[in-house]
Amino acid sequence: MISRRQLRIKVLQTLYAYYQGGMESVQKSENELRKNIEKAYELYHFLLVLIIDIVLYAESRIELAKNKRVPSYEDLHPNTRFIDNRLVDLLRNNDRLLKMVEGKKLYWTGYPELIKELYRNITDSDFFQEYMSGDEPAFTEDKKIISRIYTDIIFPNESVSQVLEERSIFWNDDFEFIISMIVKTIKKFKEAGGYNQKLMELYKNDDDRIFAVDLFRKSLVHREEYLEYIKTNTKNWDLERIAFLDILIMQMAITELLNFSSIPTKVTLNEYLDIAKFYSTQKSNIFINGVLDKVLEQLRNENKLKKSGRGLIGENE
């Protein structure tokens, strides 16, 4: 599930905290890195269960209406299309989801006003009104409406962002990515798949499992060596005047160029330039691009850039 982009970001965050914290313990920082990655997986489950709580709130409103002293015809004959959504039913009874939610205490019960706000936003939306007023929806329509709720209602909601920030300092950085993973999960669900359908795994494969820790360790071990490449190619700059985050981004990029032979050079450069756009200053992207181009040329001249594997023909030329 978690992408290499997200893993790089989490290594960057961990390196920054390690250096800013006085470099107390590498092992402690590694543990924090693993915890940070696992927290992203918790967020995936935390947000998946949110739609269940919204539907439960919708059910409670219907029951309250039925129990009025003088209920109307609409109260007694409500439109149950939303609360009968078959995708939500599969999630409500998914053993894997429930196990994680219960084990990690990923509950929304402490945020009743947020649930109400989201429900109002959903019911006020045109796409929800269309869903509720249409013919008996197919399973594809049930999936589509839930995906729209996540992308158009939950993701833009500032109150949700505030809750995530309260629960973890890193969750807002993961928010957009996790929403995209939830949409992918919804697309893969099958009506006939039952209640034991697989959710996404934390890592796509074993290579991703070790990538982040390996990148973190090698960035630390080779720090002084790779800083020399940065110094050599920023001769007109005082290194102390370069933004610390820019240095860390370049340090990680050089680490990846020299130690991860199966990752294409262009992929590494593009990834760190995109990270710089989001995490560093407005002009950092151009500056980092210029420096890394020079570093790359130096590495090739010194014959230190070794790439191997499928799709990497010509990388070492």
Per-residue pLDDT tens digits for 66-81: 999 998 988 898 999 9
Q: Are 85 and 150 in the same domain?
A: yes
Q: Are 90 and 185 in the same domain?
A: yes
Among 154, 104, 152, which Cα is nearest to 130's? Answer: 152
Q: Are 182 and 251 in the same domain?
A: no
Among 92, 182, 82, which Cα is nearest to 125's? Answer: 82
Cα–Cα distance measured from residue 37 to residue 57, given in angstroms and rounded to the nearest whole number = 31
Q: Is residue 289 in some structural domain?
A: yes
% the chain with pLDDT above 70 = 97
What CATH number should be reported for the domain holding residue 264? Answer: 1.10.940.10
**At 283, is the pLDDT very low, low, confident or very high (cuts 50, 70, 90)?**
confident
**Residue 272 C-beta-side C-alpha neighbours within 13 Å:** 30
How many other CB atoms are found less than 10 A from the CB of residue 184?
A: 12
Q: Are 296 and 172 in the same domain?
A: no
**Residue 288 C-beta-side C-alpha neighbours within 13 Å:** 29
Among 100, 90, 196, which Cα is nearest to 146's? Answer: 90
Q: Are 14 and 138 in the same domain?
A: yes
Q: Domain limits at 274? A: 222-301
Domain end, chosen from 196, 211, 237, is at: 196
Q: Are 148 and 229 in the same domain?
A: no
Q: Is residue 313 in some structural domain?
A: no
Q: Is residue 58 in some structural domain?
A: yes
Q: Which residue has the higher pLDDT, 302 or 314?
A: 302
Task: Answer yes or no: is pLDDT of 316 > 70.
Answer: no
Q: Are 180 and 59 in the same domain?
A: yes
CA distances (Å), origin 184, targets 118, 180, 239, 262, 273: 22, 6, 43, 27, 26
Q: Are 136 and 276 in the same domain?
A: no
Q: Are 115 and 169 in the same domain?
A: yes
Q: Is residue 235 in some structural domain?
A: yes
Q: Is residue 315 in some structural domain?
A: no
Q: Are 86 and 164 in the same domain?
A: yes
Among 284, 276, 285, 286, which Cα is nearest to 242's? Answer: 284
Structure tokens at 203: 């890592």
Q: Is residue 265 in some structural domain?
A: yes
**At 285, is the pLDDT very low, low, confident or very high (cuts 50, 70, 90)?**
confident
Q: Is residue 306 in some structural domain?
A: no
> Taking a C-beta distance cutoff of 8 angstroms, is the pair 121, 129 a contact?
no
Cα–Cα distance measured from residue 193 to residue 96, given in angstroms and rounded to the nearest whole number = 14
* pLDDT tens column, 21-73: 877 789 999 999 999 999 999 999 999 999 999 999 999 999 999 999 998 98
Q: Across all residues in the chain, what is the average pLDDT?
A: 93
* pLDDT tens column, 182-238: 999 999 999 999 999 999 999 999 999 999 999 999 999 999 999 999 999 988 776
Task: Answer yes or no: is pLDDT of 122 > 80.
Answer: yes
State whether the Cα torsion 268-269-274-275 is positive or negative.
positive
Give the pLDDT score at 24: 76
Q: Are 140 and 263 in the same domain?
A: no
Domain end, chosen from 196, 212, 240, is at: 196
Q: Is residue 105 in some structural domain?
A: yes
Q: Are 21 and 133 in the same domain?
A: yes
Q: Please give the tally of structural domains in the chain.
A: 2
Q: Which residue has the higher pLDDT, 237 or 5?
A: 5
